[in-house]
Structure 1
Amino acid sequence: YQTTGSLYFWAAHLAGPRWGPFASWCCAWLETIGLVSGVGAQAYSASQSLQMIILLATGTNTGGGYYASRGVFLSMYIGFTLIWATLNTFALEVIAFFGIISMWWQVIGGLVVIIMLPLVAQQTQPASFVFTHFQTSPESTGISSKPYAIIMSVLLSNYCLYGYDSAAHLTEETKGADRTGPFAILSSIGIISVFGWAYNLALTFSIKDFDYLYDENNETGGALVPAQIIYDAFYGRYHNSAGAVVFLCIIWGSFFFCGLAVTTSAARVIYALSRDNGIPFSPIWRKLHPKSKVPVNAVWLCAAISIILGLPILKMDVVFTAILSISTVGWVGGYAVPIFARLVMEERNFKPGPFYLGRARRPICLVAFLWIGYTCSAFLLPTSYPIRLKTFNYAPVALAVCMGLVMLWWVLDARKWFKGPVRNIEVDSSSQHC
């Protein structure tokens, strides 16, 4: 079974024999937390998109449409999580088939939304508004500080970049990984950056009335800003919401396929970590189905944890921000470990491969490490004021508890036996490249 051990293998290799086990331990758990909670982030996004599709298809918030309650929303969230888990219990060929559909859906659907939305909108914003105007919406967020708004803007940009590391996870499964791996990673970052930026620009240029976007009495109930932007564009030109429903279906499909892929990746990470005995009850989670050769138990563990993360939906308004924060801090923070290890690693211990940054290596590592520190800090900040139970970002508490327990386990027990990634084959050390 293919594994997703690339990140913490890098951490173990770059940190050396002394610090390798600890570095890989931290990296593996951050990656696990990031991907498992990422399933919840995608389930929330898919549920919110479906909520808007149903609302606009049945008459909008101002026209008597059906707006899903918290209980129904949670049911959608759980439903998507269970569907993804069920699909991931089938053979890998099934997931690969969905992956092909997902690729074309993302490319074609993304281009349709990016190109058509500004063309449909009768009223578009000037470039000066898009690139120089600051709008904090203190009435809905309680935030009036422009510097704070700039810090918060990293939330959306990082979410658009979510998933670029898939190429990194698959490097150990490719031929000539020392060459194809770096190329795939860089190209995926470039492509997703362009698509994400273009999508944000299409939405921003198509804004009709900024203050109306957050109004609880608008057609989408102020619940999803992109949905309101799309609705305004189509209703302004065609006087109906049919086009907006179609566009939201495209967006919903993207979240659905992404959630399916993230579930696959999360199960791989849990399998890889349990393969190395780095997770409680490892023999259970690394067990493969005899026919499909899929770690079914790991898949359902991901689903169970994701459902638990979503339960506060019944009482809190910032669940998406919290789950997304947990996911991104874990996912991005996992990269900080091998990057820091490379930054402080003695050069004489490093054997360059075909893809080598040369003298630029340390400045790039330093910038990357500082950027990760900045983004992780931003995701732990409150996104709404004043801070109350319904607006409290519980991500710092959840992360502190999880990583605190992981570190306590390391100090008390795991450091005595955890040696890092288990090698499947023995390789001559003189031929290793990183």
Structure 2
Amino acid sequence: MTDQVRPPRTDLAPPPRRIGEDEDDRLAEFGYEQKLDRSVGRVASFAIGFSTISATTAVFTGFGAGYLNAGSPFIWTLFLAIPVFLLWTLIAADVAAKIPLAGYAYQWTSRLNGSSFGWFTGACALFGWVSGMTSLGYVFAGYVGSVFDWRLTQGGQIGIAMAVVSLCVLVNAYRVRLATFINNIGVGLELVVTLGVTLVVAVVAFAVPGNAQPLSSLFSGTSPDAATPYVLAWLAASLGPFFGLVGVEAVADVAEETRDARRVIPRTMFYAFATSCVIEFGMYLVYVLAIKDPTALADSPAPIEEIISQQLGPVFSRVVVAVALTNILVCLLANVLVGTRLLYSLSRDNMMPFSRALRHVDPTRKTPTTAVLTLGVVSLLLLSSALVSQQAFNYFLGIATLAFFTTYVLQTVGLLVATRRGRIPAAEPGTFDLGRARTPLLVVSLVVFAAVETALLFLPAFAGNGFVFAGIVGVAFAWWLLALRRRLRLGLAGPRFAQEHPDAP
């Protein structure tokens, strides 16, 4: 650490690196006191990114909808998703190396484009995380019923989902080290057990004549109904693969808990993304070809379990699904972790209702306990909506990807404006930097992200999601118009709030 005393910074750009300066000094120059537990290393950072993406969870949750919408060729939609998310990974790695702060979705745009713009970007991302963790809890509950052969009512499934969401919330509220420890174990199981089982299924299916579909089936599909053109059915089937790669930038949300964040986070983003793409495609390919009785999948609530059962028997299938549940569990655990850091970051800058309570960090556990518990309560309320209206709950499940792509579009627009105005910070030696490729990459990315956003709004399979999402954005706008705008005008919120109000609890 340096002994030189520096005056408070008046600008929002990252300060220049000084020799011998540690991460906590750097955080102070952004205007924040180090309160969280900086204990996340390279392995844990990779595990957070990998489990948030969670190839196994993506395959288990998205396989049925993809196959029933477009047949076996739906697996090629993954090659629509991969270049889209590669673009986003490059962008996120570039900015994360320069602004390594918790709540990246809000912080990046707020510091480069203004607090109001940052608010709407952060609000979209926050609902994306809440919707995602709620969806995962619901999916987890369905597979629990399948493992134990329970005939779950809607209320029963919601009850199990509430219990598992509550468990993940309590683990995160206790300490980040416990959450990352469990997460590391879950990722290890995913890499060893789930992939091992997929390999066994492949060997059994392909070694026995007539046990697998021909390769030609990968190029022959039909629409679910005569009224839907196949190209629209195929595009609708891409939602699973797209949802499966959402969250590649999640490790940026725990930047203030990551050691050597500027170097570690971009690398682990790329490692997690590449590993997830390979695993996800391999699993899709094996399980599509391993289908022996396609008609059985139409009535199955757990298609992957049905395929494994067809190849290896029902007992082995249930054991595999039980192990796979740990993958879904750690994916949910990681979603809670990164989502609460965004809520904490917004509240630290006094951008949220009840910010004083939400920015509280337990001094012993170094965890934003109130933010964690609050996000859990919101998720439980969303789950309870299924008891009132199944259709309303389906809308909440379907708009997680829409919320994230809205965030990507807003951030890309903000970065283009910041680049044009020369506000992107210079890269530090040894960190990832797009350099001259930044502007053309941002332009291409904006076109691509806008195209995906348009599809999520207007494809018939996603009808209705846009109206629900518009209502949520309307609530965010109302809060900005009625309260937040005044706070920002008076200097009572925004990135300078913590620096200018050091005694605020």
Which stretch of the first structure deviates more once superposed, 154-163 or 117-126? 117-126
Q: Look up the match of 2:437.
A: 360
Is residue 2:13 matched to residue 1:13?
Answer: no
Q: Distance in 2 between matches of 1:347 and 1:109?
A: 50
C-alpha change, 1:137 and 1:77, in structure 2 (3 Å) is same
Name the SS for the 1:223 alignment partner.
coil
Is residue 2:112 matched to residue 1:38?
Answer: no
Equivalent residue pairs, number = 390
CA contact (8 A) 2:224 2:233 kept: no
C-alpha change, 1:89 and 1:180, in structure 2 (3 Å) is closer
Which stretch of the first structure deviates more once superposed, 330-339 or 313-322? 313-322
CA contact (8 A) 1:5 1:272 kept: yes
Q: Distance in 2 between matches of 1:206 and 1:54?
A: 24
For 1:357, the aligned partner's letter is L
1:327 to 370, 382, 400: 400
Is residue 2:396 matched to residue 1:308?
Answer: no
Q: Distance in 1 between matches of 2:283 and 2:391?
A: 23
Name the SS for the 2:228 alignment partner.
coil
Report the Cα offset of residue 29 of structure 1: 0.6
Report the Cα offset of residue 274 of structure 1: 0.9
User: What TM-score results when the alignment is normalised by the length of structure 2?
Assistant: 0.70
Q: Look up the match of 1:107.
A: 191
Name the SS for the 1:170 alignment partner.
helix
CA contact (8 A) 1:53 1:249 kept: yes
CA contact (8 A) 1:137 1:211 kept: no
Q: Distance in 2 between matches of 1:314 and 1:196?
A: 33
Q: Look up the match of 1:395.
A: 465
Q: Look up the match of 1:137.
A: 224
CA contact (8 A) 1:47 1:73 kept: yes
Q: Distance in 1 between matches of 2:497 and 2:482?
A: 25
Report the Cα offset of residue 172 of structure 1: 4.5
Is residue 2:338 matched to residue 1:265?
Answer: yes
User: What TM-score results when the alignment is normalised by the length of structure 1?
Assistant: 0.81
Is residue 2:327 matched to residue 1:254?
Answer: yes
Report the Cα offset of residue 205 of structure 1: 1.5
Report the Cα offset of residue 290 of structure 1: 4.5
Q: Distance in 2 between matches of 1:318 and 1:116?
A: 38
Gaps of 5+ in 2: 1-34, 37-100, 501-505
- Give identity over the alignment, percent: 24
C-alpha change, 1:366 and 1:26, in structure 2 (3 Å) is same
Gaps of 5+ in 1: 56-65, 216-221, 236-240, 385-391, 427-434
Name the SS for the 2:152 alignment partner.
coil
C-alpha change, 1:108 and 1:26, in structure 2 (3 Å) is same
Show the 5 A alignment for 1:139-158.
Answer: 144-158=228-242
Is residue 2:136 matched to residue 1:52?
Answer: no
Q: Look up the match of 2:310.
A: 232
Over the aligned positions, Cα root-mean-square deviation in angstroms equals: 2.7
Q: Look up the match of 2:276.
A: 192
Q: Distance in 2 between matches of 1:311 and 1:282?
A: 25
Is residue 2:125 matched to residue 1:125?
Answer: no
CA contact (8 A) 1:322 1:393 kept: no
Q: Distance in 2 between matches of 1:143 and 1:225?
A: 25
Report the Cα offset of residue 424 of structure 1: 6.7
Q: Deviation digits for residues 44-88 of structure 1, max 9, x if unmatched?
A: 121111121122xxxxxxxxxx32111211111111111112222
CA contact (8 A) 1:332 1:372 kept: yes
Report the Cα offset of residue 421 of structure 1: 3.1
C-alpha change, 1:300 and 1:351, in structure 2 (3 Å) is closer
For 1:204, the aligned partner's letter is V
CA contact (8 A) 1:24 1:420 kept: no
Is residue 2:163 matched to residue 1:79?
Answer: yes
Q: Distance in 2 between matches of 1:69 and 1:143?
A: 32
Q: Distance in 1 between matches of 2:151 and 2:459?
A: 27
Q: Deviation digits for residues 224-272 of structure 1, max 9, x if unmatched?
A: 322222222223xxxxx11110111122111111111211222221111
Q: Look up the match of 2:316.
A: 243
Q: Distance in 2 between matches of 1:110 and 1:374?
A: 34
CA contact (8 A) 1:310 1:319 kept: no
Is residue 2:436 matched to residue 1:338?
Answer: no
